Amino acid sequence: MLLMPVVWTVCQAQPQTKASAAQTDPVSAVVNSATDPKAPLHVTPIHTTHPEFFSGISGPGHPVPGDGSGGYRTGREGTMYRGTEPAKPGWLELGDRARGTAVRDGLIPPLRPIWELHLRDTIINQGGDGFYYMSGSSGDNIWDVTSGIELWRSKDLQQWDYVGLVWSFAKDATWEKNARYVWAPEIHYVRGNYCFAYCVAGGQGGGTGILKSSTGKPEGPYVYALTNNARIGGGIDATLFEDDDGSVYFTSGGAGSIRKMLPDLSGFDGPAHSIQFEKPADGSWTRNNIAQEGASLFKHSGIYYLGGAAFYQPTNSTSPRYSSVVAMSTNIFGPYKNWEEAVPCGGGGNYFQGPDGFWYCTYFGNDDQSPWREKPGMVRIDFEPDGKIKIADEQPAFILQAGAPTHWRMATNSAASSVNNPK
């Protein structure tokens, strides 16, 4: 989640009769369904917002045509777009905000999205049924309004089915009901059940929370997990992690602290542990948190990886990129060391093990160096002998642009060599 400056203002819904709605906003005459992208919004829209401009859901999506380049850039100024889908009235031109220079410069493979879908903050995790589930910030413009939390699933990470709108403001909200949008909802399968870590903002009632399925099924229904509807501060980008012993931990934002949860996820088992880490010696990262936002936490071969998203600008670069950064520790509470830019342009997402046994980092594109923006993607990673993450040389063909070599780094090095050493 890229956090722009947010003013926490009251956006009070005004009573409105059907007659006055029909006179002032003919769009409101459409069918009122929580899963209909043309349904009326759950709170009074601001300015001219209505479904023709900004739907609150992204919907099923479909296979990616072509190379999937272009995409979306959302913000308070509106939605920018370039691609094969029909743009809505009032949308703006994307321009050159997805130039793909990270591919040209050999930082990342020639990636393409895994599904044609408007989705920020992409999260993919395996459920208890063997399916992979995908969630994230959805809707036409998450800076304006969203309908709730959407979910997709896949057996092979290539063909995605739409589970639907599994939690909505209109039907399911409690303390969140006066907020305007959900940011970065993450699906996790922990302690034998499906849960979401999420945050809401806009209007009244902003904060972070945890949902759990009341049926043990990924489609829910979902109910609030914490006792007495207690919200977790006003942070963003929450995540959950289940350790080998079944203990569940919570972190959010820039991963500045970690909290252990009670076994039933109804609250926290003790205070938050502030995270200490070694900053890189070259001075390329000077913040006091490991990441800027988009916190993530996972474990591989006995090492905990704590990180998130950061606008990272190395000393030899002329512009920052929205990358996935991590640091490592053998203790979940740290201290952490070996801070690194693990996946250039990777952004806020997560790391997971795929059906082929390899590990992947999700990718959604959130800077001008990316080949696309705000669509779900992924990239295969490897672990160095010292545990550090690198993008794997061999990538599965389905996440690459058509005709691209699966051993992309070898091909990139060969091309660079031919340029530098012409015959």
| DSSP code string of 97-164 | S---HHHHTTSS--B--SSB--EEEEEEEE-TTS-EEEEEEESSBTTTB--EEEEEEESSSSS-EEEE
Query: Given this model, what pLDDT does residue 411 score?
Result: 63
The residues facing 303 across adjacent strands are: 300
Distance CA 341, CA 156 (A): 28
Distance CA 238, CA 227 (A): 18
**And the tokens for 158?**
């290539």
**DSSP annotation of 197:** E
Give tens-digit pLDDT for 55-112.
999 999 999 999 999 999 999 888 999 999 989 988 999 999 999 999 999 999 999 9
Closest among 61, 60, 142, 83 to 373, alpha carbons compared: 83
Give tens-digit pLDDT for 257-284.
999 999 999 999 999 999 999 999 988 8
Distance CA 81, CA 87 (A): 7
Residues 6+ apart with CB under 8 A from 305: 296, 297, 298, 299, 326, 327, 328, 351, 389
Q: Which CATH architecture has domain 45-418?
A: 5 Propeller (2.115)
Q: What is the mean pLDDT of the chain?
A: 87
**And the tokens for 58?**
């992204």
Q: How many CA atoms lie within 13 A of 283 on its CB side?
A: 2
Task: Please give the chain's pLDDT, 423 residues, in tens.
Answer: 544 333 222 222 222 222 222 222 222 222 223 334 444 444 444 444 566 778 999 999 999 999 999 999 999 888 999 999 989 988 999 999 999 999 999 999 999 999 999 999 999 999 999 999 999 999 999 998 899 999 999 999 999 999 999 999 999 999 999 899 999 999 999 999 999 999 999 887 789 999 999 999 999 999 999 999 999 987 899 999 999 999 999 999 999 999 999 999 999 999 999 999 999 998 889 999 999 999 999 999 999 999 999 999 887 777 899 999 999 999 999 999 999 999 999 999 999 999 999 999 999 999 999 999 999 999 999 999 999 999 999 999 999 999 999 999 866 665 544 434 444
Distance CA 134, CA 152 (A): 5
**Under a CB-based contact definition with an 8 Å cutoff, are residues 263 and 314 in contact?**
no
Query: Given this model, what pLDDT does residue 50 score?
Result: 63
Query: Given this model, what pLDDT does residue 27 score?
Result: 22
Domain ranges of the chain: 45-418
Percent of the chain scored above 70 by pLDDT?
85
Radius of gyration of the chain (CA): 21
H or E element, residue 21: helix 18-24
Q: How far is CA 82 from CA 72, 198, 357, 363, 395, in A?
A: 7, 29, 35, 19, 26
Query: Given this model, what pLDDT does residue 290 score?
Result: 97
